[in-house]
């Protein structure tokens, strides 16, 4: 580990420490926005772990997230609460592994469409089971507060960053970068491309399922139509792309401004929210094609040259 890496690690740990103190400052409005940010930070970062290096755009976040909320919905009365995110993670990884093995041989737009359909598929499956068993909408009534959820999400974010950092340093991370650049070359170099992709897809699926399990007590009423709402998948992609997927911290740089922008628009133009969001997104893509990460690289490049 180089001195620079140690410095970064210490700085990140300090940043997490500071952010974790937030609930002592405010438990209302700011905490509720911060909880949303924490949720999207985990989702977008774990999404970028897979989609960043491989360039496979996955729209399956809602499928894993919804699965996680249902794990909590079914289990919170009979099982200890701490075990639920774990179970959700295992199931999420399992589903991702299953789906990955079948679909990661697809590439480009075929994969995108399949992942979009996955949320719908899982939703229909859950509904079918509920219909068969006469199960109804679930009420997750607990004493868990927003503050608890916020801390859980922060812990999860730290874990995702750690995993991402480790993967980046490992042979797996190297293999994925090669796959992203040229899959044929990767295959010819003896990399088991299918295995590498499936493993990473499982990491991101597990993370999304865990987030779902953690958020179920916040929503209280769990029904398939809101748990598997496809808009979540798109939000995650938009935020990650806004930040840029080239760096581990990229998605966070998208999540924070996008959540603030969303809140600003919701507050000041309640009748045109979606319209303005769409315009904002067009503008962002036009002005910042490489996301915030790309902007940083461009600035560095420009000022680096100017110095000579």
Partner 1 sequence: MKRRSLMTTVAAVAVMMGSLGAASAQDAIKLGAAAPKTGPLAGGADVTHWPAVRLWVHQTNEAGGLQLADGPALIELIEYDDQTNPQQAIQAAQRLATQDRVDFMVAPYSTGLNLAAAPIFSQLGYPQITGTNVTNQQPELSAQFPGMFFVLGRTGVMAEDTAQVLVDLRESGDIGNRVALVNVADAFGIEMSGISRAVLEENGFEIVYQTSYPLGTQDIAPIIDGAKAANPDAFIAWSYPGDTFALTDQAIVQDFAPSVFFTAVATAFPSYYGRFGQQAEGVMGMGGVNPDDPAFQAFAEAHQELAGQGPDFWASASTYATLEILGQAIEATGSRDRAVVMEYLQDNSNSYETVLGPVQFNDMNDNERYWTVGQWQDGVFRGVAARGRDGVSDVVLKDGWD
Reduced 3-state DSSP string for 283-297: HHHHHCCCHHHHHHH
Nearer to partner 1, 270 or 304 (CB): 270
Contact 84, 71 (CB under 8 A): yes
Q: Is 75 in the site for partner 1 (CB under 8 A)?
A: no
Q: In angstroms, rounded to a whole number, what is the distance separating the alpha carbons of residues 198 and 105? A: 10
Measure the CA angle with vertex 47, ends 43 and 48; round to 5°.
Answer: 120
Greatest pairwise CA separation for the chain in angstroms: 73
Q: Is 110 in the site for partner 1 (CB under 8 A)?
A: no
Q: Is 273 in the site for partner 1 (CB under 8 A)?
A: yes
The interface mask with partner 1, positions 178-217, x = CB under 8 A, is ----------------------------------------
Q: Is 135 in the site for partner 1 (CB under 8 A)?
A: yes
Look up residue 170 and give its DSSP letter: S
Question: Please, what is the minimum distance in Å from the beta carbon of residue 258 to partner 1?
Answer: 14
Q: Is 264 in the site for partner 1 (CB under 8 A)?
A: no
Q: Is 270 in the site for partner 1 (CB under 8 A)?
A: yes
The b-or-e profile of 82-91 (16+ CB within 10 A means b, else e) is eebbebbbeb
Taking 3-state DSSP, the helix, strand and coil percentages for the chain, each rounded to the nearest 5, stand at 80, 0, 20
Contacting residue, 2, 78, 184, 271, with partner 1 by CB under 8 A? 271
What count of residues does the chain have? 308
Q: Is 263 in the site for partner 1 (CB under 8 A)?
A: yes
Contacting residue, 21, 24, 134, 306, with partner 1 by CB under 8 A? 134
Q: Is 77 in the site for partner 1 (CB under 8 A)?
A: no
Residue 86: closest CA among 77, 102, 75? 75
Contacting residue, 14, 55, 110, 139, with partner 1 by CB under 8 A? 139
Q: In angstroms, rounded to a whole number, what is the distance separating the alpha carbons of residues 137 and 144? A: 20
Residues that bind partner 1 (CB under 8 A): 28-29, 32-33, 36, 124, 127-128, 130-131, 134-137, 139, 141, 145-146, 218-221, 223-226, 229, 231, 263, 266-267, 270-271, 273-274
């Amino acid at each position: 580990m180089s001195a620079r890496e140690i410095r970064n690690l210490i700085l990140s740990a300090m940043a997490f420490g500071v952010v974790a103190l937030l609930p002592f400052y405010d438990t209302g409005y700011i905490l509720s926005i911060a909880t949303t940010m924490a949720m999207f930070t985990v989702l977008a970062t774990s999404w970028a772990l897979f989609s960043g290096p491989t360039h496979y755009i996955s729209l399956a976040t809602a499928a894993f997230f919804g699965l996680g909320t249902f794990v909590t919905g079914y289990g919170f009365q009979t099982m200890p609460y701490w075990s639920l995110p774990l179970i959700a993670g295992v199931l999420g990884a399992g589903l991702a592994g299953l789906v990955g093995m079948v679909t990661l041989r697809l590439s480009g737009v075929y994969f995108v469409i399949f992942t979009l359909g996955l949320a719908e598929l899982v939703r229909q499956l859950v509904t079918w089971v509920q219909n068969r068993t006469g199960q109804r909408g679930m009420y997750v009534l607990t004493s868990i507060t927003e503050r608890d959820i916020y801390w859980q999400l922060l812990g999860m974010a730290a874990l995702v960053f750690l995993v991402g950092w480790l993967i980046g340093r490992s042979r797996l991370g190297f293999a994925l970068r090669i796959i992203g650049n040229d899959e044929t070359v990767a295959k010819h170099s003896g990399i088991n491309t299918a295995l590498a992709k499936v493993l990473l897809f499982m990491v991101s699926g597990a993370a999304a399922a865990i987030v779902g399990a953690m958020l179920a007590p916040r929503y209280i009423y769990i029904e398939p139509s809101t748990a598997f709402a496809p808009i979540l998948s798109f939000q995650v992609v938009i935020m990650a792309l806004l930040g840029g997927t080239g760096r581990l911290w990229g998605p966070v740089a998208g999540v924070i401004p996008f959540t603030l922008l969303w809140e600003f628009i919701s507050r000041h133009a309640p009748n045109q929210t979606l319209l303005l969001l769409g315009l904002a997104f067009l503008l962002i893509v036009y002005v910042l094609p490489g996301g915030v990460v790309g902007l940083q690289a461009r600035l560095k490049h420009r000022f680096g040259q100017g110095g000579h």
